[in-house]
């Protein structure tokens, strides 16, 4: 009798264990392609913004796409009249903001309908940043940084000495930092007046990153990475030796990560000394790094690879795509990494990182919604 009961207990236990084994999904190897979808355009320069229920990304064919995070299927597409280099930004009410080379800035409702558009005098390469009170800051090749009200009306504009392709970054005190082709990094007060400007020796196309103590990091075409104090004084600069158009990211321990046109990826201590540099065999980098919650750093290269590196610079894995990767990887809380390639595909890759690092500026545009603001967060 007892042996019979034991036998049934063993059968029941095996059924339970089998059921658990079936119900728990297999762990994907980091770097696995979960899905990929073609944008309809040949090139990708726009980095994806990760919303709560959709991925938004712009394409060379002039479309802003809303994609299902689960499988990449298209929810809707909003068409502009020019290629989209700008990376979309998701507002607190889930409005999506993006610029286009058709000289317009668009506000698009979560259902894909037009909310409003604002016309500039030249193409918009810059990506929007959001102020704490709801203003939208964005630069244009017409030399202006625009501050737009939530209804699309102009609050003010600030005119630089040359084109603005750099994307603005907003500090905790509301100061807006943005670079220009005239070689200056500008600090602009929330009312649109100049606070200070710092002269580099080449174009400033790189978008600034801001540390916890307010230090501003930005690259220049003169081959330097600059660290500027909040009053505009130079804290330090490091000669990389080639153009720096990648935008820096800041790790949880204050390490600054940036890539240069010399094909190297760099890590700097907050005092400006080099922690390490790693050659990834690239000719140049446009992609900006993203630091995961587990400290892993992700970046794309012109060779078409997406790299995952440990905090000490050693390589964890690499994933080839079919074209140069100029966009910046975005890390969702689920651990999925979204990155566009110039083969026209947006890729969803598996990773060990559950979202971005807890730091002042862990990724391009600060966070996966691209608010471009210290303290910014996703709705």
Q: What is the pLDDT of residues 73-86, one digit of tens each?
A: 999 999 999 999 99
pLDDT for res 263: 87
Q: What does the DSSP assignment read for 309-377?
A: E-TTS-EEEEEE-SS---S--EE-TTS-EEEE-TTSEEEEE--S--SB-SSSS-STTSSTT---BTT--
Name the phi and psi angles at 105, rounded to 5: -110, 130
Per the prediction, the chain carries an average pLDDT of 92
Query: pTM for the full model?
Result: 0.92
**Taking residues 244-255, what's their average pLDDT?**
96
Element (H, E) at 2: helix 2-23
List, as one string, the DSSP characters of 265-288. Answer: EEEE-TTS-EEEEEE-S-S-----
pLDDT at residue 43, rounded to an integer: 81
At 27, is the pLDDT very low, low, confident or very high (cuts 50, 70, 90)?
A: low
* Residue of 196, 224, 230, 190 whose CA lies nearest to 210: 230
- Number of Cβ atoms within 10 Å of the Cβ of 183: 19
- Is the pLDDT at 2 greater than 70? The verdict is no
Q: What is the pLDDT of residues 95-128, one digit of tens each?
A: 999 999 999 999 999 999 999 999 999 999 999 9
Tokens of residue 330, six digits? 């975005």
Q: What is the DSSP letter of 174?
A: S
Each residue's pLDDT tens digit, 44-71 = 899 999 999 999 999 999 999 999 999 9
User: What is the number of residues in the chain?
Assistant: 379
Q: pLDDT per residue over 209-230, tens digit each?
A: 999 999 999 999 999 999 999 9
What is the predicted pLDDT for the residue at 12?
A: 36
State residue 44's pLDDT score: 87
Cβ-based burial of 315 (10 A; exposed 0-12, middle 13-18, buried ≥19): exposed
The mean pLDDT value for 162-182 works out to 98
Residue in 116, 82, 72, 53 with CA at minimum distance from that of residue 64: 82
Selected from 1.10.3720.10, 2.40.110.10, 2.130.10.10, 3.30.70.20, the CATH number assigned to the domain covering 28-349 reads 2.130.10.10
Sign of the alpha-carbon torsion through 222, 371, 44, 291: positive
Which pLDDT score, from 0 to 100, does residue 23 have? 31
Give whole-number Cα distances, 75 to 41, 47, 64, 72, 332, in Å. 17, 18, 11, 9, 19
């Amino acid at each position: 009798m007892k042996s019979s009961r034991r036998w049934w207990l063993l059968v029941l236990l095996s059924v339970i264990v089998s059921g658990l084994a079936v119900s728990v999904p297999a762990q994907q190897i980091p770097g696995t392609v979960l899905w990929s979808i073609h944008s309809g355009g040949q090139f990708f320069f726009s980095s994806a913004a990760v919303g709560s229920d959709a991925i938004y990304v712009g394409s060379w064919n002039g479309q802003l796409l809303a994609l299902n995070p689960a499988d990449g299927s298209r929810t809707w597409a909003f068409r502009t009249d020019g290629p989209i280099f700008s990376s979309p930004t998701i507002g607190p009410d889930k409005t999506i903001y993006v610029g286009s080379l058709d000289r317009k800035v668009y506000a698009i409702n979560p259902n894909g309908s037009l909310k409003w558009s604002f016309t500039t005098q030249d193409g918009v390469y810059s990506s929007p940043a959001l102020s704490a009170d709801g203003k939208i800051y964005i630069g244009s090749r017409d030399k202006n940084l625009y501050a737009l009200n939530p209804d699309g009306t102009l609050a003010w504009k600030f005119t630089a000495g040359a084109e603005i392709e750099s994307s603005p970054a907003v500090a905790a005190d509301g100061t807006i930092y943005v670079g220009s082709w005239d070689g200056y990094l500008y600090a602009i007060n929330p009312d649109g007046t100049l606070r200070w400007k710092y002269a580099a020796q080449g174009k400033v196309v790189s978008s600034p990153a801001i540390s916890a103590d307010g230090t501003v990091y930005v690259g220049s075409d003169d081959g330097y990475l600059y660290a500027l104090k909040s009053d505009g004084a130079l804290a330090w600069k490091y000669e990389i030796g080639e153009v720096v158009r990648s935008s820096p990211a800041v790790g949880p321990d204050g390490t600054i990560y940036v890539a240069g046109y010399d094909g190297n990826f760099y890590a700097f201590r907050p005092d400006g000394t080099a922690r390490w540099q790693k050659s990834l065999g690239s000719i140049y980098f446009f992609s900006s790094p993203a630091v995961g919650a587990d400290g892993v750093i992700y970046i794309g290269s012109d060779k078409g690879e997406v790299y995952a590196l440990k905090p000490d610079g050693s390589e964890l894995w690499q994933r080839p795509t079919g074209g140069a990767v100029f966009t910046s990887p975005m890390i969702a809380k689920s651990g999925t990494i979204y990155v566009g390639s110039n083969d026209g595909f947006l890729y969803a890759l598996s990773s060990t990182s559950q979202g971005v690092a807890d730091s002042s500026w862990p990724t391009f545009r600060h966070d996966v919604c691209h608010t471009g603001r210290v303290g910014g967060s996703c709705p």
